[in-house]
Amino acid sequence: MALELRPTALDDLGLPEALAQYADEWTRRSAVAAELRVNGLGEGRLPPLVETTIYRAVQEAMTNVLKHAEATRVVVTLNRLRDSASIIIEDDGKGFDGEGAMESNSRARLGLLGMKERVAFAGGTLAIESSPGAGTSVLIRIPIQSSEEGPR
């Protein structure tokens, strides 16, 4: 059960490399091109809760792309700012009516609701931008407390 909570790749490789490895494996399995962009991390680490939350959110978002989007490309952008980290997962798929996606209780939206709950637990916010025919963007921002930061 502990392995399900925090992937060992995060401890072994750090978040950027773990995400790069995941994106490469996902591309091989799905035949959908996935690109990772990382800004502002350098050699530093994010707090473990932030890393785990981001990694799991990317997994869920990319699973949703595979199941629902009919996309040909996904771009994952990880940004480190002074007091927060953000991740944007964008696809060029068929999109959906994003207006009420987070309020829906249907089984089809359980992945989105799970992501929202995981991000909220870390003190962050999650937004979905999508409309039919226009792809989908998942935007996550998580605050970073300086006392919780990992090794530099």
- Report d(CA 40, CA 93) in Å as an integer: 28
Number of structural domains (the chain) is 1
Q: Locate the DSSP E strands across 51-116.
A: 73-80, 84-91
Domain that includes residue 55, residue range = 33-145
Identify the pLDDT of residue 44: 79
For residue 60, is it within any domain? yes
Helix or strand or coil: residue 90? Answer: strand
- Report d(CA 66, CA 32) in Å as an integer: 8
For residue 10, is it within any domain? no
For residue 79, is it within any domain? yes
Helix or strand or coil: residue 135? Answer: coil
For residue 26, is it within any domain? no
Identify the pLDDT of residue 149: 43
Q: What is the pLDDT along the chain (152 residues), one digit of tens a residue?
A: 443 567 888 988 899 999 999 999 999 999 999 999 999 887 778 999 999 999 999 999 999 999 999 999 999 999 999 899 999 999 999 998 766 665 655 555 677 888 999 999 999 999 999 989 999 999 999 999 754 444 43
Strands 33-39 and 84-91: unpaired
